[in-house]
Structure 1
Amino acid sequence: MSQSLIQNLSRETELVREFSAVLGEERKLLKTGDYHALAAALDRKVELAGLLGALTTAREAQMGALGIRVAAGGQLVGRHIDPGTETAWRSLLLAARTARDGNELNAAVVDALRGYTDEAIQVLRQRGDTATVYGRDGRTQTGPQGVSLANG
């Protein structure tokens, strides 16, 4: 049974590493502004998350059947934990930490991009009536548009 657990841990580690690679690709796409390709990366992340969820459920069941549980700090606790299981577990933890760090970095990139966008919108709004901007129809508009209530 522990060999099956080791295989599951190895497969889970492989998928987490693949998830990390997609996070790296996503970061590059965010930085270059290739938002069409970003949708494909998101689809792949969702797919990998689903596969990882299924493997996690299977692993937890296997660990429970073997009397193995995870203690504070990610340490495995149980009566009979073979070295192969311990090694496979440590590999999974390392891969998961790498993925977590990549995800946090992507969140920071998104926050920075959102900040730049917010600042650009604010600058356009502060320029007032003299700025030429594009309207919703894609045409340039200069000055106030519409009917002023003050003019009747």
Structure 2
Amino acid sequence: METRRCSQLPSPREAWHLPFRWVSDPDGERLAKPLGAWDDDSSIFRPVVVVVAPDGRQVFHELSHDFTDRTDDEPVLAALEALGLAPLPAAPGWAPDVEPQASKRAFQPSSFIPYLRAIRFNTMALNERMVDQRDREQLVTEKEMAESFLAAFDDWRAEHPPGR
């Protein structure tokens, strides 16, 4: 098994085979705090999705309740489709201006699967303890989010078999 130093890890863009940039803001100063997405108690960036139209208008903004919460794909895709823009071709050889630095705090793609499985199973167990219907609904929403992402990972793995 090959051991790689942190500086040798692929960037998220390379690891996920994505044609767009990822943003890293470890201290929250440049992006998270201005977006209201910094969790001071945990010193982490809360998940946030922002869709900006070509003219600079913000057409979608969803800030997650906490680090376990993730935006569902459908409202994001609906906001993008409502713009009526033609899809952009993938840019061959695209490289970011600044290469992201690997961080011990950052999740690697393979880490998401056991993380989301744990969320799914924990919410199932906690649901049995909840008496308040609103709390139960929150747990069901969290479980559905985890299941949705796990299904997306299954699709991604089918499209990106090892060694490809």
| Fold shared per TM-score above 0.5 | no
Higher relative contact order (CA 8 A, sep 6+): 1
TM-score (norm: length of structure 2): 0.32
TM-score (norm: length of structure 1): 0.34
Structure holding more helix per residue? 1
If you compute each CA radius of gyration, which structure gives the higher value, 1 or 2?
1
